[in-house]
Structure 1
Amino acid sequence: MARLFIAGLLAVPALAKIAEVADTLPDHSRPFVVRHLEGQKVQLADDVFRTLTNINTTANASANPVAAGFSMLLSSGKPNDAVPPHYHVHWHETFIPMAGQIRVWANGRPRDLGAGDFAMVPAMTNHSYQHVAQETEFLGLIQPAGFDEFFQAVSSPWSPAYNVPFPPDQALAFPTATFAKVATSFDVNHVNMSQTEKGACEADWHEGNGTLPNDSKTPYFLANGAGPHYWYEAGGAVISPLATSVQTNGNFTIAQISMRKTNANATVASWSSIDHQFIFGMKGRVKFGIAGEDVELISGDSLFIPAGTNVTFRSTVNYNKFLWCSGGPNGVDSQLIRAGKKWAYSTPPAH
């Protein structure tokens, strides 16, 4: 498979344990933060893709080498044409909107997803997507790692004077020839299916049951706030799994954590995992402690925590939300679920 080597790191003080990445990612697994709209950026037609983790940061030093890491991409753009329908033999893909609206097809009728919704697209699923709202931003975890290199191969580097989400008035022509040339080498396999054949958008899908499937081959959608929830009282947090090891064949997990303010005098637990961890801020402000250093995340910031690294976290505002993703079945999100109890809601109690 084609591969681009990514290296380089923003200079940080010699004693710093947590790197602040402005452009390219570290060439090995280490703690690092990517602030909102920072990171390695490429432009594909109307859209900008930012790489938040890649094969160099996630595919080694983990207890789950079979999973071969994961790539995390942040996509920003305006309304555009749907991506040509395709499937992957190996890639397991997710769509997690943060703002705006994205339309996703997955072996059936399209569904419009907004902030807080979730779509899982396993390997061998015919799928497509397009931005619908005037300003759309979504996060995508793709496993195994390496799919970010496809976007680098078909896109152009983007180095704006001002780091806005995307250039609304500076679209590039879609690189049709380049796309066709490299697609199959990155396991992007075209499907002969028109938009009409995909059917009309399923407008009422949010009202359906939010049950996770019992296998790793079924594509599924979860509406904002749907699905199972677990209340971890000691940490004041509700953990809502979007994908467990059952739906990913043990290769990764994703959970949304909603957290109320941590008391100033509270003693918080320290957590560690044999799998790599990735956190993305959705709302509010949360403080993480890693190797004696503290780092705060706000909406759009991300934090990578290598396997075997101890971490604490506390909410410094009344309410916040963040995603917790793990590169295997033993992540902190899974540990929090086991430490909690079933809960009927996606938000913590007020008492």
Structure 2
Amino acid sequence: MPTMQNHSYSFTEPDSTLLAFITPGGFEHFYWNVSVPLVDPTNAPFAPDIHTRFLESTFEAAIGPVFDVIPIFNSQFSYNFTNGTTNQSAPWHNGKTTAPNNAKEPYYLANNWSQRFLHRATGQVIQPRATAVQSGGNFTLSTMVMRGRAANETTAEYTFDVPQFFQILEGTMMIRMMCQTVSMSTGDIAFIPAGTAFSYWSEVAFTKVYLGCAPAGGLSDALVAQAEPWAYGVFPSYFGNLTNSTSA
């Protein structure tokens, strides 16, 4: 989503996760100002049986003097989730969705219906979500699925001049950096500073992650540059030559 765009969001399931990748930083202060600490005796992530009244006037007063955010209450959402969209001329989970070639237009990308690339040698499928083109050079954000590491495979090592991050969505991913290897599972996050050598691989048959960097020019771009267009959301049964150490 570009700057200066109106937007709304609403959770429709009892347990939902929203990943917001915002650059430059600072918007987290918005949430700190409009929320209150949650203390639950059972240590639940949220308390569905405790109904806290949402005070619109308090919310507006809290953000008005500090943030350039104008709340519009009682707005109506469209819930055309699958095989349709509010804009009837645009595909949604029933056709290819693409990102614009500029940093001015907001857009939506349906999972596994946007542009995909296969890095055949490593059996990884990369789906760019926001590239330097859409972010104005500020960051890149992609999802990536990968197969399990083969028994005779040499894991590639990467070094970039921009920081990277990973968040595990599914599966188990190993990351090695600074002479330390960590096993990461669903929800775990790794931050890799610029100039830090690292390697990664999947310990299970299927792993899916978010990966990003700021500004652009990190792992996602390096993999896509060596990849081929791909029509599927998962990797094929044949991977090609296994990789050796590399640096970017």
Q: What's the TM-score bracket when you normalise by the shorter of the two chains?
A: 0.7 to 0.9
Q: Which residue of 2 aligns with 1:153?
A: 33
- Give the match for residue 176 of structure 1: 56
> What SS is found at the alignment partner of 2:194?
coil
Alignment correspondent of 1:330 = 217
Query: In 1, Cα distance between the equivalents of 2:75 and 2:131?
Result: 31
> Is the Cα contact below 8 Å between 2:118 and 2:229 reproduced in 1?
yes
Which of the pair is proportionally richer in strand?
A: 1
Contact 2:171 2:186 in 1 (8 A): yes
CA distance in 2, matches of 1:237, 1:141: 22
2:1 is the counterpart of 1:127: no
* Structure 2 letter corresponding to 1:186: F
Aligned partner letter, 1:136: S
Q: CA deviation at 1:265?
A: 2.9
Q: What RMSD in Å do the two structures reach over aligned CA positions? A: 1.9
Q: Which residue of 2 aligns with 1:188?
A: 69
Query: What is the TM-score of this pair, normalised by structure 1?
Result: 0.61
Opposite residue 44 of structure 2, the aligned amino acid is V
Identify the residue that residue 306 of structure 1 maps to in structure 2. Answer: 193
- CA–CA separation in structure 2 for the residues paired with 1:182 and 1:270: 47
Structure 1 residues 153 and 206, CA, compared in 2 at 3 Å: closer, same or farther?
Answer: same
- Specify whether residues 163 and 230 from structure 1 end up closer, same or farther in structure 2 by C-alpha distance, changes over 3 A only: farther
Partner of 1:100: none
Residue type at the aligned position of 2:233:
S
Indicate yes or no: 2:141 matched with 1:254: yes
1:140 matched to 2:27? The reply is no
Quick one: higher RCO (CA 8 Å, sep 6+), 1 or 2? 2
Residue 292 of structure 1 corresponds to 179
Cα deviation, residue 294, structure 1: 0.6
Distance (whole Å) between structure 1 residues aligned to residue 41 and residue 154 of structure 2 = 44
Contact 2:60–2:71 under 8 Å retained in 1: no
Gaps of 5+ in 2: 85-91, 239-248
Post-superposition offset of 1:149: 1.1
Larger Rg: 2
- The match for 2:152 among 251, 254, 265 is 265
Residues 209 and 189 of structure 1, relative CA distance in 2, 3 Å threshold: same
**1:126-169: per-residue Cα shift (whole Å, max 9, x none)?**
11111111222221112221111111112112354554332212
**Preserved CA contact (<8 Å) 1:236 1:262:** no
Change (3 A) 1:343 1:163: farther
Q: Which whole-Å CA distance do the structure 2 matches of 1:269 and 1:247 have between them?
A: 29
Q: Which moved more, 1:232-241 or 1:250-259?
A: 232-241
What is the distance in 2 between the residues matched to 1:302 and 1:328? 18
Output the amino acid matched with 1:315. S
Counterpart position of 2:108:
221
Residue pair 2:160, 2:195 contacting (<8 A) in 1 also: yes
State, as a whole percentage, how many aligned pairs show the same letter.
Answer: 34
Q: What letter matches 1:179 in structure 2?
A: F
Structure 1 residue 308, shift from structure 2 partner: 1.4
Q: CA offsets, 1:254-309, max 9 Å, x none?
A: 11111011113311111122222111111110100111101111111111111111
The one-letter amino acid of 1:188's match is V
Structure 1 distance, partners of 2:231, 2:40, is: 45
Q: TM-score, normalised by structure 2?
A: 0.84
